[in-house]
Amino acid sequence: MTAVRIDRWLWAARFFKTRTLAAKACDLGRIAFKGQPAKPAREVRPGDFLKVKNDSGEYHVEILQLSETRGPAAMAQTLYRETDASRELRQKVAEERKAMPHPETGKPSKRDRRELDRVRGRS
């Protein structure tokens, strides 16, 4: 095997749960091949570089091996190598997300309601 469809490879490498989601990500422009949005039928080969955006973050990866079948996670991790810059950026974004204060949810207390009314200029 010398080339594989990009949606099939993304599914086999476990970037997406289904091939349909991988194809949809390609259609939405979340997969870049050589700086250009990739179509799902685009063929990839070992040595190609991809930029993949999914729920986990943005990955910059080099394809090391090809696979058309989805296997265990340990095998999927051998299909690609993530760049050091990409890994550091994802960790930085994760730390920033954890440091952000979480908005309070639920109904405000009577004291909070009075404070909100005072700030909004209501009597």
pLDDT in tens, 57-88: 899 999 999 999 999 999 999 999 999 999 99
Domains of the chain: 4-87 (3.10.290.10)
Distance separating alpha carbons of residues 63 and 79, to the nearest angstrom:
6
φ and ψ at residue 85, rounded to 5 degrees? -60, -40
Q: Which of 3-17, 48-62, 70-84, 91-105 comes out lowest in average pLDDT?
A: 91-105
Which pLDDT belongs to residue 103?
Answer: 76
Best CA proximity match to 8, nearest among 94, 68, 81 = 68
Distance separating alpha carbons of residues 107 and 104, to the nearest angstrom:
9
Distance separating alpha carbons of residues 15 and 71, to the nearest angstrom:
12
Distance separating alpha carbons of residues 74 and 85, to the nearest angstrom:
22
Strand 49-54 to 31-33 pairing: antiparallel
